[in-house]
Structure 1
Amino acid sequence: MNLRKAGGNWVEGDRFFDREVEIEALMERVGDGIHTLVTAQRRMGKTSLVRELLRRLRVQGDFATVFVDLEDAVTAADAVVEIAAAARGVRSTWGRMTDWIGQSSSAAVDRIEELGMSELRVKLRARVDAGNWRTKGDAVFASLAESGRPVVLAIDELPILVNRLLQGHDFEMTPERRRDADEFLSWLRKNGQAHGRRIPMIVSGSVGLEPILKRAELSAHANIFAPFDLKPWDEETAIECLGALAGSYDLQLPEEVCRRMCRRLRCCVPQHVQQFFDKFHEYLRRAGRREATPDDVSQVYSQEMLGVRGQIHLEHYESRLRMVLGDEGYSVAIDLLTETAAGGGVLGEQSIAQCGAYLSSLPDRVTVRVADVLHVLEHDGYLARLEDGYRFVSGLVEDWWRGRHSHGFVPFDRRLN
């Protein structure tokens, strides 16, 4: 197998590794017209999985495919524009949407194909606004549904858009913003129910949708999506990946080295496994060697994976928390995770109770609940529940968090004294 480095981006085709069971399960869901919400912790490869699924569906020819990225969308109108622009590849769709650009059917299709994606977005955005986005969006779905083949609509970063609708850029959830999010989700749900078998949707994102909706009391909108939990690689799969990468770059990574790498990570998140290999490759290159030894593992892990350059890949673990939880919840999450890291990787029930007591003792009332923050941390893969508390899922994230936040940290029990 000629497996190449991913470079931190999504991969497909020859660079896509494993996940055959997951691809088969998603193909079955698509064939049954089931809407799917792909859930997983950070860097698990959700986008790569969906992209590879769409590629294989295109090769088979039974489905048309549309991939939409809503990371930069701010409003419901933006989302409709992004869906419409991404649908340009379904030629028959634009023949039914001539009013969007005011030309005859054949001229409209020809004109759409002439435009670059950025120019197309600008032209579409001029025709979609707060007053008509629902009507325009309905037209997009109706046109896709009338295509010659069923259309798989993959919507990436839907949770980020929903979170922006709810909280804005100041992380303040207001009744008006909740109404806007409710309206958008109701529209998406309505079209999903109306066109299910013709337009099966696959939703994914770098933050979890369910905790966002739960916090806003809008969870009912997610019930049209069947959850699909993408698990980390098991140790043997990760070792196989490391071996394939080593073979592609003419390196020798003995099995014992690969196994030690996996046990350092503890949770074999695909992006972390490939990042570890990348750091190992550069380390050996600088040393003028092509064979790794077990003693190299600790050196590469501590100096490269946890070094300044390696931390760039981990900083999103912190930034995404603020996006989902807002300033107040973010502060509580930082404290909970740091208490966990400083306490040997385990957050006990006593520490959780002390956190709640400390927040209650503050002169400025804290509205966020500790239980809600823990729900986000568990759902998004920071912590895993134990019988009497929580622990970090990833050894890499735990070690990085300890090094980043533990210095000068005051535990909850000392704050109460």
Structure 2
Amino acid sequence: MGLRKAGGNWVDGDSFFDRDAEIEALLERVEDGTHTLLTAQRRMGKTSLVRELLRRLEGRGEFASVFVDLEDATTAADAVVEIAAASRRIRSAWSRTKHWITQSSDVAMDRIQELGVNEVRVKLRAGVDAGNWRARGDAVFTSLAESEKPVVLAIDELPILVNRLLKGHDYLMTPERRRDADLFLSWLRRNAQAHRGRIRMIVSGSVGLEPILEQAELSAHANIFAPFDLMPWDEEIAIRCLGELADSYGIQLPEDVRRKMCRQLRCCVPHHVQQFFDKLHEHLRRAGRLSASLDDVSRVYSEEMLGVRGQVYLEHYQRRLRLVLGDEGYGVALDLLTEAASSDGVLTNRSILRYRDYVSSLPDRPIVLLRDVLHVLEHDGYLTRKDDGYRFVSGLVEDWWRARHSHGFVPFDSRLQ
């Protein structure tokens, strides 16, 4: 069948393209018992990489695997429930979980197998609260460690949960919230260390964990994880991917067309490459043609990738910034990115200094530190350092930001008068 479009979901198996070197590196870490923090900018394919890794590990028969998504979790108790529910396929964990359910609900032991995943979550949640989540969580980790095979525990969106624990719905970091986050991370760290020989953890998320921990001065909790940076495709790999997609869908994309697509994006984020192909394919379908030209690339990029419908795919870049930084920090990030977009993609050191002076002059100046905002923007792949400041990593994100936010925070002189 050949390579197929990925859409907005994670992919594995025949739809998983390239990344063999990354898979091998992660397999080696798993075999060594290393806990890993997988980092990358948005849409790089972290979830797909982890899912494919777990699929291959299951195929080898040497490890059991558990994949947990914490995107909807808001408390430490929620996290314990999600880990317990996702561990249902591990016999030792499920045996202990069934007793947990019968103790906290009216479900008989012989009826538990009939419960769906969501029902299991509800029943588990009834038995965990702020007073016992650590004991319940310890029991879950112990049961995983008792599995016949070593367990690879992949936890997606852990940074999102930690950020919620620290800042709540109003994005204010209080001593109580910092204490709650510290307790949760200490618990996770303790279990990761206690069961290192039997459980390997892989932590990932759509935002960076390190900047969030640094804001709260909790960076020590990340020391148990060895960072693993997932990089963009290089141009040649992206060109090969576009070629295989074209072959699968019976269209012609000459090499110069594919190369222009990659250089238009500048940073070959896998999701963006596939999104560009999808929109070009639809453009050719509407035109009743099977071959694309350089003019088609330009038109699809400007009218589709940067058009109203295309912008929907990129709005998550703004949403994630607001989630991590809160309204106040997001306002600063918006200013910085808009200034860069309005200045040929470059945010100079001079502009940063003048913006800092401007913000300092405000009577209600933001509490958030400018360096923290820049750290998030750099770590999460919006900006990269240059000799004279920063510039956008992705040409697509830069062009989209310019189309969406046309005016920067300059001229400064008028603000400072």
TM-score range, shorter chain: over 0.9
Closer/same/farther in 2, CA of residues 302 and 98 from structure 1, 3 Å limit: closer
- The alignment's TM-score, normalised by the length of structure 2, stands at 0.97
Task: For 1:211, give the aligned amino acid.
Answer: P
SS at match of 1:207: coil
Give 5+ residue unaligned stretches, structure 2.
none
* 8 Å Cα contact 1:32/1:197 also seen in 2: no
Match of 2:157 in 1: 157
Q: What's 1:135 paired with? A: 135
| Structure 2 Cα separation of the partners of residues 287 and 24 of structure 1 | 42
State the Cα deviation string for residues 245-284 of structure 1 (Å, max 9, x = none).
0011001000000000000000000000000000000000
Structure 2 CA distance for aligned equivalents of residues 79 and 101 of structure 1: 16
Asked if structure 2 preserves the Cα contact closer than 8 Å seen for 1:10 and 1:47, the reply is yes
Q: Distance in 2 between matches of 1:135 and 1:393?
A: 44
Quote the residue 2:179 is aligned against: 179
2:334 is aligned to: 334
Q: Counterpart of 1:384 in 2: which secondary structure?
A: strand
Distance across 2 between alignment mates of 1:386 and 1:297:
29
SS at match of 2:197: coil
Instruction: Indicate if the aligned counterparts of 1:71 and 1:160 stay in contact, CA closer than 8 A.
Output: yes
Q: Deviations over 1:340-379 (max 9, x none)?
A: 0101111111100011001001011321121111111000
Query: d(CA) in 2 for partners of 1:12 and 1:71?
Result: 21
Query: Do 1:351 and 1:413's aligned partners in 2 also have CA atoms closer than 8 Å?
Result: no
Distance 2:99 2:50 in 1: 32
Q: 2:290 aligns to what SS in structure 1?
A: coil
Q: Is the 8 A contact 1:81 1:121 kept in 2?
A: yes
Equivalent residues of 1:70, 1:160 under 8 A apart: yes
Matched residue, 1:16: 16
| 8 Å Cα contact 1:95-1:108 kept in structure 2 | no
Q: How far apart are 1:98 and its partner, in Å?
A: 4.8
Q: What is residue 238 of structure 2 aligned with on the other side? A: 238
Matches within 5 A, 1:86-97: 86-97=86-97
How far the C-alpha of 1:388 sits from its partner, in A, is: 1.4
Q: Give the structure-1-normalised TM-score.
A: 0.97
Contact kept in structure 2, 1:239 and 1:255, CA below 8 Å: yes
Cα shift readout 1:295-339 (whole Å, capped 9, x = no counterpart): 111101000000111111100001100111111111000000000
Aligned mates of 1:59, 1:109 — CA distance in 2: 31
Alpha-carbon distance in 1 for matches of 2:150, 2:411: 56
Residue matched to 1:271: 271
RMSD of aligned alpha carbons: 1.4
* Counterpart position of 2:36: 36
1:71 alignment partner in structure 2: 71
Percent pairwise identity: 76
Moved more, 400-409 or 336-345: 400-409
Q: State the one-letter code of the partner of 1:133.
A: W
Q: Is the 8 A contact 1:88 1:112 kept in 2?
A: no
What amino acid is aligned across from residue 41 of structure 1 in structure 2? Q
The 3-state SS of whatever aligns with 1:356 is: helix
Shift in Å, 1:75: 0.3
| 2:199 aligned counterpart, secondary structure | coil
- For structure 1, the 5+ residue unaligned runs are none
How far the C-alpha of 1:406 sits from its partner, in A, is 1.5
Deviation at 1:409, TM superposition (A): 5.4
Q: Quick one: which amino acid aligns to residue 56 of structure 2?
A: R
1:190 maps to 2:190? yes
**1:97: how far off?**
4.2
1:6-405 aligned at under 5 Å gives the runs 6-102=6-102, 111-405=111-405
SS at 1:313 equivalent: helix
Structure 2 CA distance for aligned equivalents of residues 202 and 13 of structure 1: 20
Offset, 1:387:
1.2
